[in-house]
């Protein structure tokens, strides 16, 4: 009799296992039938690359110096010249300009040279005389905004003479960078 109960128990266990497997299998199919799909759009806008081109040069004009170091400054907005200790001589002076172009009305960051990185020189390659150019400023200052894809950027700076600066025509160059914000 025990063997008969054991056989019945085995059959019921087998039926329960099969029924459970069947229910679980159907449940898995039910989950798949509930799957959903949605669609969305992707967009992009390509803008013209930002560009910068040199316009007018930074012109400090003519001046004389004395036995002490002195400065001459060009204003980035007006191009006006101011000085400390130098004797200004009437001459053509003015701010540097750059033509910035790009797309629409986007804004951009302006990077000017740092102090101690720009010099203008005169004389021979073996015996040059230099003046430091620093305290660069811009108009607009720090960030510009294109209007119809263009803007004029003004740049001013200060040159510092040494005591009894050697007379001559001094020249040099500097870089200004722009980058979209």
Distance CA 137, CA 142 (A): 9
pLDDT tens digit sequence for 34-82: 899 999 999 999 999 999 999 999 999 998 887 788 999 999 999 999 9
Distance CA 115, CA 135 (A): 6
Whether pLDDT at 2 is above 60: no
So what's the pLDDT on residue 7? 63
User: pLDDT-derived band of residue 164, with 50, 70 and 90 as boundaries?
Assistant: confident
In the predicted model, what is the mean pLDDT of residues 84-105?
Answer: 92
User: pLDDT-derived band of residue 156, with 50, 70 and 90 as boundaries?
Assistant: very high
User: pLDDT-derived band of residue 125, with 50, 70 and 90 as boundaries?
Assistant: confident
Cβ atoms of 122 and 168 within 8 Å: the answer is: yes
So what's the pLDDT on residue 87? 81
Cβ atoms of 94 and 110 within 8 Å: the answer is: no
Neighbours of 55 (CB within 10 A): 15
Structure tokens that stand for 54 in this block: 């040199």
**Residue 160's beta-bridge partner residues?**
71, 132
Distance CA 164, CA 84 (A): 14
Coil, strand, or helix at residue 100? strand
Which is it for the CA torsion 59, 61, 68, 85, positive or negative?
negative
Q: Round the average pLDDT of the chain to a whole number and report it.
A: 88
């Amino acid at each position: 009799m025990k063997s008969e109960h054991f056989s019945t128990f085995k059959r019921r266990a087998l039926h329960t296992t099969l029924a459970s497997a069947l229910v679980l299998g159907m449940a898995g199919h039910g989950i798949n039938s509930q799957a959903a799909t949605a669609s969305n759009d992707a967009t992009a806008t390509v803008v013209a690359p930002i560009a910068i081109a040199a316009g007018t040069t930074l012109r400090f004009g003519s001046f004389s110096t004395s036995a002490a170091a002195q400065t001459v400054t060009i204003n980035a907005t007006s191009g006006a010249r101011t000085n400390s200790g130098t004797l200004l001589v009437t001459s053509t002076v003015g701010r540097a300009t750059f033509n910035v172009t790009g797309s629409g009305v986007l804004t951009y960051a302006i990077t000017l040279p740092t102090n101690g990185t720009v010099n203008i020189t005169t004389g021979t390659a073996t015996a040059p005389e230099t003046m430091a150019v620093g305290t660069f400023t811009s108009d607009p200052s720090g960030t510009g905004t294109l209007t119809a894809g263009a803007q004029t950027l003004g740049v001013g700076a200060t040159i510092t003479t040494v005591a009894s600066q050697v007379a001559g025509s001094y020249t040099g160059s500097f870089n200004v960078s722009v980058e979209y914000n």
